[in-house]
Amino acid sequence: DIIDYTQLISILMETDFYNNLRESERIGLVRFVTNMENNHYDAVSNNLITNLEEQIENLQKEIESEPKDSGYMNHMQLYFLKKEIFAVAEMKIIYAYKHFEIHLKWLLKASYPEIKERKLYRWESITEFLKSKKINPKTLTNYSEINELRNLNNAIKHGISILDENTSKIQEFQNRKKLDYDDLVLFYKRIEISSIRFIESLIHKIHQDLYEFDEDRIEKMSKKLIRRMDLTAINLLIEKLKKKIE
Protein backbone atom coordinates (compact mmCIF):
# COMPACT_ATOMS: atom_id res chain seq x y z
CA ASP A 1 0.00 0.00 0.00
CA ILE A 2 1.13 3.57 -0.72
CA ILE A 3 1.77 5.47 2.50
CA ASP A 4 0.05 8.82 2.68
CA TYR A 5 2.79 10.72 4.52
CA THR A 6 0.72 13.91 4.63
CA GLN A 7 -2.09 12.13 6.48
CA LEU A 8 0.41 10.36 8.76
CA ILE A 9 2.12 13.61 9.70
CA SER A 10 -1.28 15.20 10.31
CA ILE A 11 -2.28 12.38 12.68
CA LEU A 12 1.05 12.58 14.55
CA MET A 13 0.77 16.35 14.91
CA GLU A 14 -2.77 16.04 16.23
CA THR A 15 -1.66 13.37 18.70
CA ASP A 16 1.19 15.56 19.97
CA PHE A 17 -1.17 18.52 20.21
CA TYR A 18 -3.62 16.74 22.51
CA ASN A 19 -0.87 15.15 24.61
CA ASN A 20 0.90 18.47 25.04
CA LEU A 21 -2.36 20.30 25.72
CA ARG A 22 -3.40 17.79 28.37
CA GLU A 23 -0.03 17.91 30.12
CA SER A 24 0.19 21.68 29.91
CA GLU A 25 -3.25 22.13 31.45
CA ARG A 26 -2.56 19.50 34.11
CA ILE A 27 0.74 21.09 35.14
CA GLY A 28 -0.90 24.51 35.13
CA LEU A 29 -3.51 23.20 37.56
CA VAL A 30 -0.97 21.56 39.88
CA ARG A 31 1.24 24.65 39.97
CA PHE A 32 -1.57 27.17 40.25
CA VAL A 33 -1.24 27.67 43.99
CA THR A 34 2.48 28.46 43.68
CA ASN A 35 1.59 31.27 41.30
CA MET A 36 -0.94 32.85 43.63
CA GLU A 37 0.17 36.41 44.19
CA ASN A 38 0.79 37.54 47.72
CA ASN A 39 -1.84 39.65 49.43
CA HIS A 40 -0.23 43.01 48.67
CA TYR A 41 -2.55 44.87 51.03
CA ASP A 42 -1.09 43.06 54.05
CA ALA A 43 2.13 45.06 54.25
CA VAL A 44 0.33 48.33 53.61
CA SER A 45 -2.38 47.71 56.21
CA ASN A 46 0.06 46.38 58.82
CA ASN A 47 2.23 49.49 58.53
CA LEU A 48 -0.81 51.74 58.66
CA ILE A 49 -2.20 50.00 61.75
CA THR A 50 1.16 50.25 63.51
CA ASN A 51 1.37 53.95 62.69
CA LEU A 52 -2.17 54.62 63.91
CA GLU A 53 -1.57 52.64 67.11
CA GLU A 54 1.42 54.84 67.87
CA GLN A 55 -0.61 57.99 67.24
CA ILE A 56 -3.42 56.77 69.48
CA GLU A 57 -1.04 55.78 72.28
CA ASN A 58 0.75 59.16 72.19
CA LEU A 59 -2.52 61.06 72.09
CA GLN A 60 -3.95 59.10 75.02
CA LYS A 61 -0.84 59.91 77.09
CA GLU A 62 -1.23 63.56 76.20
CA ILE A 63 -4.90 63.55 77.20
CA GLU A 64 -4.11 61.85 80.52
CA SER A 65 -1.57 64.56 81.35
CA GLU A 66 -4.02 67.37 80.59
CA PRO A 67 -6.13 69.10 83.23
CA LYS A 68 -9.61 67.62 83.65
CA ASP A 69 -12.30 68.87 81.24
CA SER A 70 -9.69 70.30 78.83
CA GLY A 71 -8.30 69.13 75.50
CA TYR A 72 -11.55 68.88 73.50
CA MET A 73 -9.66 68.82 70.19
CA ASN A 74 -7.46 65.96 71.34
CA HIS A 75 -10.50 63.91 72.35
CA MET A 76 -12.07 64.53 68.95
CA GLN A 77 -8.84 63.58 67.17
CA LEU A 78 -8.63 60.40 69.25
CA TYR A 79 -12.19 59.52 68.25
CA PHE A 80 -11.40 59.82 64.55
CA LEU A 81 -8.12 57.90 64.84
CA LYS A 82 -9.97 54.99 66.44
CA LYS A 83 -12.55 55.08 63.67
CA GLU A 84 -9.79 55.10 61.07
CA ILE A 85 -7.88 52.16 62.54
CA PHE A 86 -11.11 50.17 62.70
CA ALA A 87 -11.76 50.97 59.02
CA VAL A 88 -8.28 49.76 58.09
CA ALA A 89 -8.92 46.48 59.94
CA GLU A 90 -12.24 46.13 58.09
CA MET A 91 -10.50 46.68 54.75
CA LYS A 92 -8.01 43.97 55.72
CA ILE A 93 -10.90 41.50 55.92
CA ILE A 94 -12.59 42.72 52.72
CA TYR A 95 -9.37 42.58 50.71
CA ALA A 96 -8.53 39.11 52.05
CA TYR A 97 -11.82 37.70 50.82
CA LYS A 98 -11.56 39.52 47.48
CA HIS A 99 -8.05 38.13 47.02
CA PHE A 100 -9.37 34.61 47.68
CA GLU A 101 -12.43 35.11 45.47
CA ILE A 102 -10.39 36.29 42.46
CA HIS A 103 -8.20 33.18 42.54
CA LEU A 104 -11.10 30.82 43.18
CA LYS A 105 -13.06 32.15 40.19
CA TRP A 106 -10.01 31.97 37.91
CA LEU A 107 -9.26 28.38 39.00
CA LEU A 108 -12.82 27.19 38.39
CA LYS A 109 -13.15 28.96 35.02
CA ALA A 110 -9.79 27.61 33.82
CA SER A 111 -10.60 24.07 34.99
CA TYR A 112 -14.23 24.00 33.85
CA PRO A 113 -14.71 26.35 30.87
CA GLU A 114 -18.36 25.30 30.67
CA ILE A 115 -19.24 26.98 33.95
CA LYS A 116 -21.50 30.00 33.50
CA GLU A 117 -19.95 33.32 34.54
CA ARG A 118 -22.99 34.25 36.61
CA LYS A 119 -22.52 31.12 38.75
CA LEU A 120 -19.19 32.47 39.97
CA TYR A 121 -20.76 35.44 41.74
CA ARG A 122 -22.74 33.56 44.39
CA TRP A 123 -21.13 31.27 46.96
CA GLU A 124 -24.16 28.98 46.93
CA SER A 125 -23.87 28.55 43.14
CA ILE A 126 -20.16 27.74 43.43
CA THR A 127 -20.76 25.10 46.10
CA GLU A 128 -23.57 23.56 44.05
CA PHE A 129 -21.32 23.42 40.98
CA LEU A 130 -18.57 21.71 42.97
CA LYS A 131 -21.05 19.17 44.27
CA SER A 132 -22.07 18.44 40.66
CA LYS A 133 -18.41 17.45 40.11
CA LYS A 134 -18.55 15.17 43.18
CA ILE A 135 -16.51 17.67 45.22
CA ASN A 136 -17.95 18.35 48.66
CA PRO A 137 -16.81 21.88 49.63
CA LYS A 138 -17.18 21.12 53.35
CA THR A 139 -14.46 18.46 53.11
CA LEU A 140 -11.91 20.92 51.69
CA THR A 141 -9.14 22.10 54.00
CA ASN A 142 -10.04 25.22 56.02
CA TYR A 143 -13.59 25.37 54.66
CA SER A 144 -14.88 26.61 58.02
CA GLU A 145 -12.34 29.44 58.12
CA ILE A 146 -13.17 30.49 54.56
CA ASN A 147 -16.86 30.46 55.41
CA GLU A 148 -16.19 32.63 58.47
CA LEU A 149 -14.20 35.04 56.30
CA ARG A 150 -17.04 35.15 53.77
CA ASN A 151 -19.67 35.83 56.45
CA LEU A 152 -17.54 38.53 58.06
CA ASN A 153 -16.86 40.14 54.69
CA ASN A 154 -20.60 40.24 53.95
CA ALA A 155 -21.40 41.66 57.40
CA ILE A 156 -18.85 44.44 56.99
CA LYS A 157 -20.01 45.33 53.48
CA HIS A 158 -23.77 44.88 53.78
CA GLY A 159 -24.79 44.50 57.43
CA ILE A 160 -26.13 47.10 59.84
CA SER A 161 -23.88 45.55 62.47
CA ILE A 162 -20.78 43.40 62.03
CA LEU A 163 -22.04 41.08 64.76
CA ASP A 164 -24.92 38.99 63.43
CA GLU A 165 -26.12 35.41 63.85
CA ASN A 166 -23.21 34.12 61.71
CA THR A 167 -20.30 36.31 62.76
CA SER A 168 -21.11 36.15 66.48
CA LYS A 169 -20.13 32.45 66.32
CA ILE A 170 -16.55 33.31 65.30
CA GLN A 171 -14.31 32.35 68.22
CA GLU A 172 -12.64 35.78 68.51
CA PHE A 173 -16.06 37.47 68.67
CA GLN A 174 -17.96 35.18 71.03
CA ASN A 175 -19.63 36.83 74.04
CA ARG A 176 -18.82 40.24 72.60
CA LYS A 177 -21.39 43.02 72.26
CA LYS A 178 -19.02 45.34 70.44
CA LEU A 179 -15.86 44.74 68.43
CA ASP A 180 -12.61 46.64 68.42
CA TYR A 181 -10.11 46.75 65.55
CA ASP A 182 -7.79 44.26 67.26
CA ASP A 183 -10.59 41.66 67.31
CA LEU A 184 -10.66 41.81 63.51
CA VAL A 185 -6.84 41.64 63.37
CA LEU A 186 -6.77 38.59 65.67
CA PHE A 187 -9.34 36.85 63.47
CA TYR A 188 -7.34 37.68 60.35
CA LYS A 189 -4.12 36.29 61.82
CA ARG A 190 -5.87 32.97 62.54
CA ILE A 191 -7.30 32.54 59.03
CA GLU A 192 -4.52 34.28 57.09
CA ILE A 193 -3.27 31.23 55.16
CA SER A 194 -6.65 29.48 54.99
CA SER A 195 -7.32 30.65 51.43
CA ILE A 196 -4.12 29.02 50.14
CA ARG A 197 -4.84 25.78 51.98
CA PHE A 198 -8.42 25.76 50.66
CA ILE A 199 -7.23 26.33 47.08
CA GLU A 200 -4.57 23.61 47.43
CA SER A 201 -7.19 21.16 48.64
CA LEU A 202 -9.57 22.13 45.83
CA ILE A 203 -6.82 21.71 43.22
CA HIS A 204 -6.27 18.15 44.45
CA LYS A 205 -9.98 17.36 44.04
CA ILE A 206 -10.15 18.99 40.60
CA HIS A 207 -7.10 17.00 39.50
CA GLN A 208 -8.85 13.79 40.57
CA ASP A 209 -11.95 14.80 38.63
CA LEU A 210 -10.20 15.83 35.41
CA TYR A 211 -7.13 13.61 35.16
CA GLU A 212 -7.42 10.50 37.32
CA PHE A 213 -9.27 7.51 35.85
CA ASP A 214 -9.05 4.18 37.63
CA GLU A 215 -10.70 0.98 36.38
CA ASP A 216 -13.84 1.51 38.46
CA ARG A 217 -14.39 5.00 37.11
CA ILE A 218 -13.80 3.91 33.50
CA GLU A 219 -16.24 1.03 34.01
CA LYS A 220 -18.93 3.48 35.18
CA MET A 221 -18.23 5.75 32.21
CA SER A 222 -18.51 2.84 29.79
CA LYS A 223 -21.86 1.75 31.28
CA LYS A 224 -23.20 5.26 30.94
CA LEU A 225 -22.10 5.51 27.30
CA ILE A 226 -23.37 2.07 26.32
CA ARG A 227 -26.88 3.10 27.39
CA ARG A 228 -26.80 6.09 25.01
CA MET A 229 -24.75 4.98 21.99
CA ASP A 230 -25.31 2.29 19.39
CA LEU A 231 -22.53 0.00 18.14
CA THR A 232 -21.65 2.22 15.18
CA ALA A 233 -21.22 5.26 17.42
CA ILE A 234 -19.17 3.27 19.94
CA ASN A 235 -16.80 1.99 17.26
CA LEU A 236 -16.45 5.50 15.87
CA LEU A 237 -15.63 6.84 19.35
CA ILE A 238 -12.99 4.10 19.87
CA GLU A 239 -11.44 4.94 16.50
CA LYS A 240 -11.35 8.65 17.27
CA LEU A 241 -9.75 8.08 20.66
CA LYS A 242 -7.10 5.78 19.16
CA LYS A 243 -6.17 8.40 16.56
CA LYS A 244 -5.76 11.00 19.27
CA ILE A 245 -3.25 8.95 21.27
CA GLU A 246 -1.39 6.76 18.77
Written as one string, the DSSP assignment of the chain is: ----HHHHHHHHHHHHHHHHHHHHHHHHHHTGGGGPPP-THHHHHHHHHHHHHHHHHHHHHHHHHSPTT--HHHHHHHHHHHHHHHHHHHHHHHHHHHHHHHHHHHHHHHH-TTS-GGGGG-HHHHHHHHHHTT--GGGSTTHHHHHHHHHHHHHHHH-SSS--TTGGGSTTTTT-SS--HHHHHHHHHHHTTHHHHHHHHHHHHHHHHHH---HHHHHHHHHHHHTT--HHHHHHHHHHHHHHH-
Distance CA 54, CA 220 (A): 64
What is the rounded average pLDDT of the residues 204-228? 88
Distance CA 228, CA 225 (A): 5
* pLDDT tens string 30-55: 777 776 766 778 889 999 999 999 99
Q: Considering the entire predicted model, what is its pTM?
A: 0.82
Higher pLDDT, 40 or 108: 108
Higher pLDDT, 30 or 205: 205
At residue 1 the predicted structure's pLDDT band, cuts being 50, 70 and 90, is: very low
pLDDT at res. 69: 63
pLDDT at res. 34: 73
Higher pLDDT, 72 or 100: 100
Is residue 15's pLDDT more than 60? no
